[in-house]
Amino acid sequence: MASVRRAAAQTVIAIAGVTALAFAQAPAPPKPFAAAAPPSAESVKKAEQTLADARKALGGDKFDAVKTIVASGRTKRVRGNNLVPIEFEIFFELPAKYVRVDEFPAEDTDPTSAGFNGDALIQIPAPAIPAPKAVPAIAGSSGRPGGPGPGPVPAGAPAPGAAVPAATVPTGAGPTGAVPAGAVPSGGAPSGPPSTGPTPATTAAGGAPTPLPGPPAPGGAMPPGAMTPGATPMGGRGPMLDPRTARLLAVKQDYARLALGLFANSSAYPLTFSYAAIAEAPQGRADVLDVRGEGNFTARLFIHSDTRLPIMVTWTTPPTNVIVTVPGQPPPATVAPGAVVVAGPPAPPKDAPKEEMDKYSKEVLAIRAKAQATPVENRLYFADYRDVDGMKFPFRLRRAIGTETTEETTFDRFRVNAKIDPRKFEPVK
């Protein structure tokens, strides 16, 4: 738990407006990526064989008789300076029904649930449409509350060298705040996989170590509505898109990441696979598959080369927030997992001409945009596979942002083909 305590101690910076939608992969940065080349037929064929081996190791044909799965356990989730205990049940009714129900024993709150029934969202309490939020101040700037917006910075910037506390600038996903049910339970006991990921060195089949290619660039536009709540479309203009669609997308993406560890497949959120490389990971050598799904979903699946069991899924998101400092200002003592700290330019004096203030505003915004466009790696580890009715399921999971653990989960039980009350899958009205 040492890594979790460090993560808890480093999440004292509040992230404004973080909600359930934060777990959907965010839209691509303003600068468009070049269209990714389609995978070769050879890489697709090799990925199919790797997945077939993984499914055989997990239980093979025994999964053909599975209609439902009910999993229960406990999660410890970082929230600010605290570790929040959560007791959960996850219900699968194959192929396309899923819901997670969370209870918070240390809080006087009702259980929450989130999932989907086909393309219908399941969520209790029902999602609300949040009001747009002002951007908080950037350290080294002043003017209107919330700091400089898209326009020039008003007069009143602090004199150079003035003590200005670093401020956070939310950019979407964040590990702090209450995460509603439906986010993939992740974590694992402290004795689970180490926090470090696979090494960059990889080996092409039969060859010498070569650099592991980067994750596929986000491809295509976001599906309608897939946007952080309260945000405006890229460029700052236009109406906010449907938050319910974004929430459904977020839940399905988390389901897909979990399903890759449970089934090496994702029946409710179709995915395509191609073979990337062989990576040296702390858990041993692993075959790495590139994974793509609806909208901008991209990930990497790591399958242990010896056991053929899934050991990790990685994906990238924008930083959880951006901290811009002024020259001479010490870095913040605590930084939330996934946040980045960047140095800003010297602030102009209060009586600087408008042209100088405009220049300063543009420099700060450019620094912020560049930091927002730099992805942060997220990891979901699978460990402690055990036999359940002839199939193997991971009993420990761990979620991390970079090297900081944000959740640890232990499953107590998997019940196969258990009867599930149909009301569990009633969608939002």
- Mean pLDDT for 341-369 is 90
Question: What Å distances lie between residue 393 and 9, 260, 409, CA to CA?
Answer: 32, 11, 13
pLDDT of residue 295: 75
Q: pTM of the entire structure?
A: 0.68
Distance from C-alpha of 135 to C-alpha of 169, rounded to nearest angstrom: 7
Residues facing 287 on adjacent strands: 278, 303
pLDDT band for 409, please (50, 70, 90 cuts).
very high
Task: Record the tokens describing residue 302, joined without a space.
Answer: 């790591």
- Assign 133 a pLDDT band (cuts: 50, 70, 90): low
* pLDDT, the chain, mean: 74
Task: Provide the residue type at 316 as one letter.
Answer: T
Tell me which of 429 and 275 has the higher pLDDT: 275
CB 405, CB 187: distance < 8 Å: yes
Model pLDDT, residue 312: 95
Identify the pLDDT of residue 390: 95
Beta partners for residue 387, in sequence order: 392
Nearest to 135 by CA among 228, 222, 226, 218: 228
The pLDDT assigned to 271 comes to 96
The tally of CA atoms less than 13 A away on the side-chain side of residue 61 is: 0
Q: Which residue has the higher pLDDT, 171 or 119?
A: 119
Above 60 in pLDDT, residue 370?
A: yes
Q: Which of 338, 269, 344 is nearest to 98 (CA)?
A: 269
Q: How many CB atoms lie within 10 A of CB 88?
A: 22
326 pLDDT tier (thresholds 50, 70, 90): confident
Higher-pLDDT residue of 344 and 17 is 344
pLDDT at residue 130 in the model: 61
pLDDT tens sequence across 60-102: 999 999 999 999 999 999 887 788 999 999 999 999 999 999 9
In the predicted structure, residue 424 carries a pLDDT above the cut 80: yes
- Sign of the C-alpha dihedral computed for residues 262, 268, 273 and 279 taken in this order: negative
* Domains of the chain listed by start with CATH number: 2-32+43-131+171-320+373-425 (2.50.20.10)
The band of 132, judged by pLDDT with boundaries at 50, 70 and 90, is low
pLDDT digit string, tens, across residues 18-52: 333 333 444 333 343 345 678 899 999 999 999 99
The predicted structure's pLDDT at residue 190: 34
What pLDDT score was predicted for residue 241? 52
